[in-house]
Copies of this chain bind each other. A is one copy, B any other.
Amino acid sequence: MTTSDSSRQRAARSGGSERTEHLAGLIMALARREGMKAGDRLIEQRLADALDLSRAPIRLGLKALEAAGLARGEPNRGFVLAKNPTSGAAQPALAAVRRSEQVYATIAGDVLASRLPADIAEAELMRRYDLSRAELQRMLDRIAAEGWIARLPGYGWRFAETVSSPEAQAKAMAFRAVIEPAAIAQPDFTLPQEVIARLRERQLRVLEGELEKMTIGEIYHSGCEFHEEIIRGAGNPFFVEALKRVNSIRRLFAYRSFADRDGMRRHVRQHLRLLDVLEARRYAEAAKLMAKHLQRPLVAGLS
């Protein structure tokens, strides 16, 4: 059986390639996180720095945004935001979810539901998900980086036990409940004033209305960023790395929980309280607060 070509054709949209569409989405997300408004300039180099790319692909992304009506290009002045970057805005206007994203989600679902054997060959995956070798390669690289699959010495790959276990969610929280307070309690923990200010501002924005407009994915992402910024204060990259890995796996489950907006609101208030204590440099107290914050999460799965 040869792989079918029909399902692998490129999304024929005016905006640009899949990759460019994706980038356009990243730009909008960044604009929103930075609190930009309609009319603000989208400066190429700044976006390039923020997204670890050069100006060339950024410019393509901006053109895609223009095609989608989200940005306006002005001769010799580059691009400006055409609309306030509210959460929903970007997605529907841009191409449908990328095929690779869909496949990724399908695989994640299959693994969580144990519909896949723990050990599996690349050829088998290519058949199951109708992927070219190159596509699969990229997918596996990504999943491996997220830490829930690893190469076997011979042919094939093995999914990590971390994901398949039914209590994975609880285990992840137990792990966080250890490392996050411990990071704050490290002797040379310190969080620059401007970081605290930035975090507080973002949390306030969420509390004052943005929450309602955010998707589950965005809420999750925002929560992760908050905690990752704080743990960074320990000045020990091993803590940061470990948290990031846990979070990238937790994200797999996160899609299944649903948002309890009231719980979220209390949750964000806890974040703000934590920031106050951190600002006062009462780190021992902050560590305890963090432990409490993580031990009984107000919203299932979304801390």
User: Is A150 part of the contact surface with B, judged by Cβ < 8 Å?
Assistant: yes
A85-124 interface code vs B (CB 8 A; 1 in, 0 out)? 0000000000000000000000000000000000000000
For A160, the chain B residues whose CB sits under 8 A away are 237, 241
A132 smallest CB distance to B (angstroms): 17
Complex alpha-carbon distance, A283 and B21, angstroms: 53
User: Is A178 part of the contact surface with B, judged by Cβ < 8 Å?
Assistant: yes
Complex alpha-carbon distance, A172 and B175, angstroms: 17
User: Is A239 part of the contact surface with B, judged by Cβ < 8 Å?
Assistant: yes
Interface residues of A in 5-34 (CB under 8 A from B): none
Tell whether, in the assembled complex, residue A162 and residue B53 are in contact, meaning their CB atoms are under 8 Å apart.
Answer: no
Tell whether, in the assembled complex, residue A178 and residue B179 are in contact, meaning their CB atoms are under 8 Å apart.
Answer: yes
How many A residues, CB 8 Å from partner? 38
Complex alpha-carbon distance, A200 and B24, angstroms: 57
With A178-B178, A179-B178 known as contacts, the answer to whether A241 contacts B153 (CB < 8 A) is: no
Tell whether, in the assembled complex, residue B51 and residue A153 are in contact, meaning their CB atoms are under 8 Å apart.
Answer: yes
User: Is A151 part of the contact surface with B, judged by Cβ < 8 Å?
Assistant: yes
Of B51, B152, B178, B241, the residue contacting A162 (CB under 8 A) is B241
For A192, the chain B residues whose CB sits under 8 A away are none
Tell whether, in the assembled complex, residue B236 and residue A171 are in contact, meaning their CB atoms are under 8 Å apart.
Answer: yes
Complex alpha-carbon distance, A162 and B240, angstroms: 10
- Max chain B Cβ within 10 angstroms of own Cβ: one of A158, A178, A239: A178
User: Is A147 part of the contact surface with B, judged by Cβ < 8 Å?
Assistant: yes
For A151, the chain B residues whose CB sits under 8 A away are 141, 145
Complex alpha-carbon distance, A195 and B178, angstroms: 25
A24 smallest CB distance to B (angstroms): 14
User: Is A4 part of the contact surface with B, judged by Cβ < 8 Å?
Assistant: no
Complex alpha-carbon distance, A91 and B153, angstroms: 20
Select from chain B the residue with minimum beta-carbon distance to A174: B236
Of B51, B147, B154, B182, the residue contacting A182 (CB under 8 A) is B182
Select from chain B the residue with minimum beta-carbon distance to A236: B171
A140 smallest CB distance to B (angstroms): 10
Tell whether, in the assembled complex, residue B171 and residue A238 are in contact, meaning their CB atoms are under 8 Å apart.
Answer: yes
Show 16 residue pairs from A and B whose CB-CB distance is below 8 angstroms, ordered by the A residue: A53-B154, A54-B154, A147-B241, A160-B237, A161-B237, A168-B237, A171-B235, A171-B236, A174-B186, A174-B238, A178-B179, A178-B183, A179-B179, A182-B182, A241-B245, A242-B245
Contacts A145-B151, A165-B237, A171-B235 known; 4 new A-B pairs at CB < 8 A: A51-B153, A145-B150, A238-B246, A241-B245
